[in-house]
Amino acid sequence: MPQDFDHFVITRFAVRWRAEDPPPDEAWLRYRIGLFEAVCLPSVASQVGAQFTWLLLLDEGCRAPWLEAELAELGADGVFEVVWLTDVFWSSIDRVVTERATAPHVITTRLDSDDAIARDYLGRVQATFDGQDRLYVNFQRGFQFERDGALYSYLHPANAFLSFIERRTENTPVRTVFSSTAHPDAAKYGDVLQVSAPPCWIIVVHGANLLNEVHPVAWRLRPEALGDRFEVALPLAPVTGRDLVASRIRTLRHQAVRVFTRWRIGKQILLNLAQGDRVQAQRTDGSG
């Protein structure tokens, strides 16, 4: 029986963003392979209740015998398909997915090679499917793992673990989840379905991942919080009750500061509007 949709998980393992960019070097690739094997790969390989195709994208300039051998060993069970790109990522991604899609609808999910998803994550994404077109799906709750082994709760309404549902049209390239080049801007390109669910993803902060830092409104958790929902190899550090309380206090303080700041900004906007109305009224009275 034909499936209503094709679901592609897209991982940009080592791609070029601009034509003038050099491909990643061997040291970076070996470092990334280690993270991928410990975090991303087992989390995807352990998915339950979902059929999908996992595309691992690499630039042709990275191709080397040692790397091909590593990828062949890691993907020996067919969990992912390696796609070698001869052009920059943005010029390639639509074509790569379009060539493989045959169902009436396409779901694409972005996943970085150093991050992880819960065992039921892709199944939860597919459960939101109802024949929509140009719908982003975002699971707000997840975890963040720090370099010191600390685990934090994280609520993010515009996170990178984004999926996109679209209707496929013959002879027209699919748009993919990367039609929004920056995931926080997804709402500019389609409706966003915010899904409330148990934590569904893990952001891993490491030495080469400078864009991610502990979120100011995240709070520390015990290692047991991961439970059995994630298949990952992370060196989680123990935490004392005092550390947990201190983390909650910091979180509440940051939240209070944010609320107060927004209140002050809102108050100033209202005052400015009121002042403008008074000036306009005075001008109107004077002209009469």
d(CA 79, CA 55): 9
Task: Name the phi and psi angles at 8, rounded to 5.
Answer: -115, 125
Q: Taking residues 135-162, what's their average pLDDT?
A: 92
Q: With 80 as the cut, is the pLDDT of residue 273 above it? A: no
Mean pLDDT value across the chain: 85
Identify the weakest region by mean pLDDT among 27-36, 144-153, 210-219.
210-219
| Percent of the chain's residues with pLDDT above 70 | 77
Amino acid identity at 252: L
Are the C-beta atoms of residues 154 and 36 closer than 8 Å to each other? no
Average pLDDT over residues 20-38: 93
Neighbours of 176 (CB within 10 A): 22
Q: How far apart are the first and last CA of the chain?
A: 77
pLDDT number for residue 185: 72
The pLDDT value given to residue 257: 43
The pLDDT assigned to 135 comes to 96
Q: Which amino acid is at 33?
A: I
User: In angstroms, rounded to a whole number, what is the distance separating the alpha carbons of residues 226 and 208?
Assistant: 24
Q: Pick the residue with more confidence: 215 or 56?
A: 56
pLDDT digits (tens, 9 = 90+) for 91-116: 999 999 999 999 999 999 999 999 99
pLDDT tens digits, 31-50: 999 999 999 999 999 999 99
Closest CA to 40 of 62, 17, 59, 13: 13
Q: pLDDT tens digit string along 218-246? A: 788 989 888 889 999 898 888 766 765 65
How many CB atoms are located within 10 Å of the residue 44 CB?
21
Whether 23 has a pLDDT exceeding 60, the answer reads yes
Task: Please determine, for residue 259, whether its predicted confidence score (pLDDT) is greater than 90.
Answer: no
Structure tokens of 212?
């991610």
Tens of pLDDT, residue by residue over 164-211, are 999 999 989 999 999 876 666 777 888 999 999 999 999 998 765 545
CB 161 within 8 A of CB 139: yes
Greater confidence (22 vs 7) lies with 7
